[in-house]
Each structure stands twice: as structure tokens, then as C-alpha cells.
């Protein structure tokens, strides 16, 4: 047995060859920057950072690369595994394919970071809203509003038919290609609703950004369904029509014990437009955990028709009212919404949402900048550091082997140790992309 050699525990021989093997394996694996040229930085969020990149394949196709950040960006990170959000997004995106869902091309694991490579979209709903409110200073036309809403519902129908609930629909997460095709993105909070391994409330105390959160969630419901996505679609449609969030409340933050507080301000913003819900409108409202807190709020009448007068035509207002049904069981499904008469009257929705626009009214392409935390810069300098680390591992292993061979003349035992030395031979020939994976921990 190798651990019988005097003065050794065997750990060096058992560990170092595996580290050398990993270095050889990783040197042969293409890095992100071997496959894609990073063109610039798009945006960042709680998940990490998004970059615009061009494939180095012959097609030169443009992609968006989403890099999930480690525990501490820019510092020595403690590796704790892959985040729940990343696992969900990878698992679900690999199983779905639809014209109105952003497509995942591949996933790359490199240096304990996850890179998701998506098809690229030049615009998103939030950019369109800002373009109309800040630059054009005019509302979004009915043909564009109708086309964007229809395609959003069409993508959502596909997700719901696949038993997937998105749980974070908002303008920033809904993309549009340069050819006017809507793409639902960011499935980091999405869950399967068919035979889930855990209840939907497990692990995620808060879902859906506050302005787009359905009343059942605001009232503390632990059990909910796809109707929360439909409410969010109503909020997005209203925001497209008015160029500002319809229910722009202040979010009460979690307390020190991570308890979810009563969202009084957000509910009031909803009640001011839709009126205070009654038991006739929503029979199960009395079962909501925050029902008694809600009863203490001022009473409001429904003003949605008044709100819609200057923003959405009659049939569009009727669709919005049904998307905003208080009772989740009475809210339209995605399939029912697509059949609404608003979509079947002129102007009809088009596959290219921008088809009716003159060129000067089409939003400009997404702006990219230089990364303020250059974690996706060319890897030449990093590669030289990694090569030095690999060489150091090999030298350490060789030194221990040499020491052993001088201490013991038994040919068979030295021969078995030499087999590890032969494994290390060639590990240093990996060129500039050779790297050593750091130990976990």
C-alpha cells in the first residue's frame, strides 16, 4: 500500500495526480472566450451580469451570455455550489422551445462560474416604454400594443401548457428581437406546477416584482396557480398603454427574521384603480392570511373604466378588466385571453410587432458599454497564471516522487509511483488556455 511508505500519508500521491488530470482535462476544454468574442456589457442584476457576444463560428451569430456571479464578485469567492435560480433556469430552458420564449444555446461551466448562452434580442418592453415616454413623447400605437400583448400571451400559453409558471413577468424580462418578435426571458423564478417536489411557497417567500404581484400573493396566499402570471400580463399591458406602472406601490421589506410584511401600500394602489374587493367578487378572500389587515384599509370604488378612457379602446379595456379579475379562478387563462375579441378586430396583431411603424419610431438597438467589473475580459493574463499554477503542482508531485525513489530501492514500489509521474507528463503542454481548477471549499 502506498501509505505504507515512511514519512508519507499517501495524500500527496492520491490528490496531486487527480489535480494534474483535471488541469489536463480543463486545458482541452474550450473556454467561453475561445468560442465567443465579448462585444460589451449589457446589464447586471442580483443573478450576475449579461454580455453581448459574437460566435467565433462561421455564422458569426450574436448571443447574450448570462454569467452567474459567485458569492463575492471581484474577491476570493467561497464556493457553495450552483444557485437554485441557475439550476431552475438551466433545467427549464433545456426542455422548452417556442418562438416567443428566449432560446438557450448552451451552458458552460468554467472556473466555478456558470455561463448561459442565449439567442440575442435587441430590445425589451422596458426599453420600448422609455423610448416612447422619453424620446418620442407619444403613446405606443394600438397595432404595436396589440401585437406585443398577443405575442406575450402566446409565449405564456406555451409555458402554462408545459405546466411552467413564470412568477416574474415584468417589462425588463420580456425581450423583442430586431424583427419584432417577443421573447419571454429570465426563468430564474419559474417553477413546474405539475406534481412539484415541494410546495410553490417553499424556498421562495417572495415572488413576482411588487408592482406586478397579484392580490392573492399580496394577501399572503401560500397556494396559488398560473393566474399570478395573468395578473402580471395585465400590469404589463397597462404599462405599455400608459407608459408608466399602473400599480406603483412602495414595497415593505422583510423584517430581521425574514418574515413577509403586509404590503399595505401596494394593495392601496390596486384598490384605488380596481376598487376594494368584496366577498361577492372573490368568495375565498376571507381565507387569505392578510384578510383582516385588508379590512382595515379605506374603501375604494372601481375606476378602471375611467383609467382606460384615454389609454385603451373599449374591447382592450374589457380584456384588461378580465386580466385584473380579483378572484384567480375567474381570471382569464392565457388561451382564453388569446381568443378575446380585441385581438380579432382591426388592426390585428402581427408577427412583427414593429411592422406598422416608420423606421424613425422603432426603438434604437440596445446600448452596450464596457464592463465596470471586467470578469469577461480576454484571458491571456489569467492563462499564464494558471499555467504557472499547473507547473507548480507538477513540480511538487515530481519532488515527492523523487524523494520516494531515493528512499526506497524496491523496483516494483518505485515503478508504481512512477506511473503517477507518467500521468503528469504532458500536462504542461496545454498552451495558453491550460488552467488548474481550485480545490472546492
Residue identified by cell 422596458 is 126
Give the Cα separation of 384 and 401 in Å (integer).
26
Residue identified by cell 439550476 is 87
Query: Where does residue 398 rank: exposed (0-12), middle (13-18), buried (19+ CB within 10 A)?
Result: middle
Give the Cα separation of 48 and 50 in Å (integer).
7
Distance of CA 314 to the CA centre of its chain: 35
CB-based contact 176:183 (threshold 8 Å): yes
38: which strand partners?
A: 53
**What is the chain's percent helix, strand, coil content, to nearest 5?**
45, 10, 45
| Assigned C-alpha cell, 143 | 397595432
Give the Cα separation of 264 and 253 in Å (integer).
12
Residue of 16, 168, 186, 229 marked active site: 168
| Assigned C-alpha cell, 409 | 530501492
| Assigned C-alpha cell, 193 | 406546477
Give the Cα separation of 142 and 355 in Å (integer).
12
Give the Cα separation of 220 and 367 in Å (integer).
39
The 3-state DSSP class for residue 309 equals coil
CB-based contact 88:186 (threshold 8 Å): no
Give the Cα separation of 404 and 77 in Å (integer).
36
Number of helical (H) and strand (E) elements in the chain, helices listed first: 14, 10
| Assigned C-alpha cell, 412 | 516494483
**CA distances in angstroms from 397 to 11, 332, 388, 390, 424, listed in the order given:** 11, 67, 14, 11, 8
Residue 168 bears catalytic tag? yes
| Assigned C-alpha cell, 205 | 417567500
Q: What are phi and psi of 103, to 5 degrees?
A: -90, 135
Which DSSP string corresponds to 142-160? Answer: HHHHHHHHHHHHHHHHHHH
Active site residues: 168
Amino acid at each position: 500500500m502506498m501509505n505504507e511508505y515512511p514519512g508519507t500519508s499517501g495524500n500527496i500521491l492520491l490528490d496531486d495526480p487527480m489535480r494534474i488530470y483535471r488541469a489536463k482535462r480543463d486545458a482541452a476544454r474550450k473556454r467561453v472566450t475561445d468560442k465567443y468574442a465579448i462585444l460589451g456589457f449589457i446589464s447586471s442584476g442580483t443573478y450576475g451580469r449579461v454580455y453581448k457576444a459574437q460566435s467565433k463560428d462561421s455564422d458569426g451569430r450574436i448571443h447574450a451570455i448570462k454569467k452567474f456571479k459567485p458569492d463575492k464578485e471581484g474577491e476570493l469567492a467561497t464556493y457553495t455550489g450552483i444557485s437554485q435560480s441557475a439550476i431552475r433556469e438551466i433545467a427549464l430552458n433545456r426542455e422548452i422551445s417556442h418562438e416567443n420564449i428566449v432560446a438557450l444555446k448552451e451552458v458552460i461551466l468554467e472556473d466555478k462560474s456558470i455561463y448561459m448562452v442565449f439567442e440575442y434580442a435587441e430590445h425589451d418592453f422596458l426599453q420600448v416604454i422609455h423610448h416612447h415616454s422619453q424620446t418620442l413623447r407619444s403613446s405606443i400605437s394600438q397595432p404595436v400594443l396589440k401585437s406585443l400583448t398577443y405575442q406575450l400571451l402566446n409565449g405564456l400559453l406555451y409555458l402554462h401548457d408545459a405546466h411552467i409558471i413564470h412568477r416574474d413577468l415584468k417589462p425588463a424580462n420580456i425581450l423583442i428581437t430586431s424583427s419584432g418578435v417577443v421573447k419571454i426571458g429570465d426563468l430564474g423564478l419559474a417553477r413546474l406546477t405539475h406534481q412539484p417536489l415541494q410546495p410553490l411557497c417553499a424556498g421562495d417567500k417572495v415572488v413576482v416584482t411588487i408592482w406586478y404581484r397579484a392580490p392573492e400573493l399580496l394577501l399572503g396566499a401560500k397556494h396559488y396557480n398560473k393566474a399570478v402570471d395573468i395578473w402580471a400580463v395585465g400590469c404589463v399591458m397597462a404599462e405599455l398603454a400608459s407608459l408608466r406602472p399602473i400599480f406603483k406601490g412602495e414595497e415593505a421589506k422583510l423584517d430581521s427574521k425574514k418574515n413577509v410584511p403586509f404590503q399595505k401600500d401596494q394593495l392601496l394602489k390596486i384598490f384605488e384603480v380596481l376598487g376594494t374587493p368584496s366577498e361577492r367578487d372573490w368568495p375565498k378572500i376571507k381565507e387569505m392570511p392578510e384578510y383582516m389587515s385588508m379590512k382595515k384599509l379605506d374603501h375604494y370604488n372601481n375606476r378602471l373604466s375611467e383609467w382606460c378612457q384615454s389609454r385603451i379602446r373599449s374591447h382592450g379595456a374589457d380584456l384588461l378588466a378580465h386580466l385584473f379579475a380579483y378572484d384567480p379562478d375567474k381570471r382569464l387563462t392565457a388561451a382564453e385571453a388569446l381568443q378575446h375579441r380585441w385581438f380579432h378586430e382591426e388592426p390585428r396583431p402581427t408577427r412583427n410587432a414593429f411592422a406598422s411603424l416608420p423606421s424613425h419610431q422603432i426603438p434604437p438597438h440596445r446600448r452596450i458599454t464596457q464592463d465596470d467589473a471586467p470578469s469577461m475580459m480576454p484571458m491571456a493574463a489569467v492563462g499564464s497564471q494558471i499555467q504557472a499554477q499547473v507547473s507548480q503542482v507538477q513540480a511538487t508531485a515530481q519532488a515527492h516522487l523523487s524523494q520516494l525513489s531515493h528512499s526506497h530501492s524496491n523496483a516494483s514500489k518505485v515503478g508504481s509511483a512512477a506511473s503517477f509521474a507518467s500521468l503528469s507528463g504532458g500536462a504542461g503542454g496545454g498552451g495558453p488556455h491550460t488552467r488548474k481548477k481550485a480545490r472546492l471549499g
